[in-house]
Structure 1
Amino acid sequence: MSKPWAITRENGKLRHKNAANSRLAVFIKECRKSKLLLLFLLPAFVWYFIFYYIPMYGLTIAFKDFQIMDGILGSPWIGFENFNQMFHTYEFIRVLRNTLIISGLKLLFVYTSGIVLALVLNEIFHDKFKKIVQTISYLPHFLSWVIIGSIMIELLSPVSGLVNNIIKALGGKAIYFLADPNWFIPVLIVSDIWQSVGWGSIIYLAAITGVDPQIYESATIDGAGRFTKIWRITLPSIMNVIIIMMIFNIGNLMNAGFDQIFNLYNPRVYEVGDIIDTYVYRVGLTQMNYSFSTAVGLFKNAIGLALVLLVNRVANRFGQTGLW
């Protein structure tokens, strides 16, 4: 004689299995209906599989004493020795600290600058002037950091740079901005704002256009000023977009901007400007210590994934829309 709890458990498993089969059948049916659309996506799937997923096998060298002549398969396993060495290396502690500081400042100033610009542009009623401002603010996004780095070097040159010429004309002394640890991080933040603020404001402007104009009209009738409408209507209406973009930015917290820093830094500012990505490049490619640099890169990506999961969970917990 079978026990009631056993029957209940079997029935529960059966229902779960039937539900899973039903979802699979629906998925297959939808794929058949959209087979032409999926065919268009096939090149993208192949691209990502070949260039993103297959190379993931190379991450195993983080757990090996990798030798080029022996290859990945022939190199001996050493377990977590590279990670143990990483956490006991002063340079890694320094680059981890620099990465968090620079990324945190960029999250505070660069990320919010796009929101501020979108709010300001939304308050401009002169369409022609508004388009001019948008165009000027978008242009730097289309310049590579090689070009922007060259522009910054010329502008901030202690000998012939425009900024230092103005300082000297006002009676001050020339400042070597890109070789002074006290000035290097502010230069990074300002140049990143200049490069990305226009492009970063696009998605917020799109979200603001979706706000019902009647809400603003009602607020105007009630006597609300511009700042009140921004604080009480605009920001709450686009909060979901702000949260989603913040999750993306926090997911990139461990990146800090390799292209920008690589084109602007030098050994004199390593103490404040050397980040994980530049450290991995220098140790991995210059010093040919592939296993150790792979371990550092794997650690960075693992922390980035953990931050995305954490922030998404917190956003959902407080009633905001996360990534899923």
Structure 2
Amino acid sequence: MAGIKEIRTKIKSVQNTRKITKAMEMVAASKMRKAQDRMRAGRPYAMKVRAIAAHLMQAHPDYTHPYMVESSETKAVGIIVVSTDKGLCGGLNTNILRLVLGSLRDFDEKGVSTQLTALGSKAAGTIARIGGKLVSQEIGLGDEPNLERLIGAVKVQLDDYMAGKVNAVYLASTRFINTMKQEPTFIRLLPLPTGLKDPFQVGDEGIENNEASTSQYGWDYIYEPDAKSVIDDLLHRYVEGLIYQAVAENMASEQSARMVAMKAASDNAKSVIGELELVYNKTRQAAITEEISEIVGGAAAV
């Protein structure tokens, strides 16, 4: 009977675990809709700002912002890593951190030093474990991105870029494709990649890509009050918009990945419960049969 009690306890334990994973699945599904709405609402702004930045690169105004100047030699780079604060979201964090670690190895082989900014506790913890140079971090981001909190950590990298301490700034984050698919991305944030795709040539989605293409359009602008003021403000908004959008995409990806992971866990728990119940019934039947045999044997002996 000890075996039966152990199996019954195991079944109860798995049932309790399934209740937890089912509840987490429902919570993630609820949050996922709101996160996706925020992410989709921010995409048009980020795409349009990036489109104008691409046009400015082709306009060749009298004033050139440092964000648009390519360095002749890359000796140091900054990397902004966007991750989640919590786990239980499948391989979401593993995929983006694996991509970052691979990039760190590549930079190290080229003799390029790196400094990192972590947006999310999972990235901060991993960077600390590998002994990376963590210059700033922001954790506890919550369920909705807050630009005022994000820009504080990112400003360290931007200031170092303006001071010439790093020659480029990269952004590693997860892009939301759909509920079942999230794609880790590693793009150069600064200086602006040359030949940003023209949205009029490749459609709206093309602006998300960093591959070079030649535009058939010539761009020119009339600046008020002057080119410097307009370009400075625009490029700062470009960086802020891209960071905000990256975090919004990551949050949508997190809730989607967590919902899928918890659904898989709930399904697995249901399968385990079925198998344990089968074993329980067989063991109980065997115990009853043994007791009956003992009673019959005793009666026959009398």
Shorter-chain TM-score above 0.5 = no
Larger Rg: 2
Name the one with the larger helix percent: 1
Normalising by structure 1, we get a TM-score of: 0.29
By relative contact order (CA 8 Å, sep 6+), the higher-ranking structure is: 2
Normalising by structure 2, we get a TM-score of: 0.30
Name the one with the larger strand percent: 2
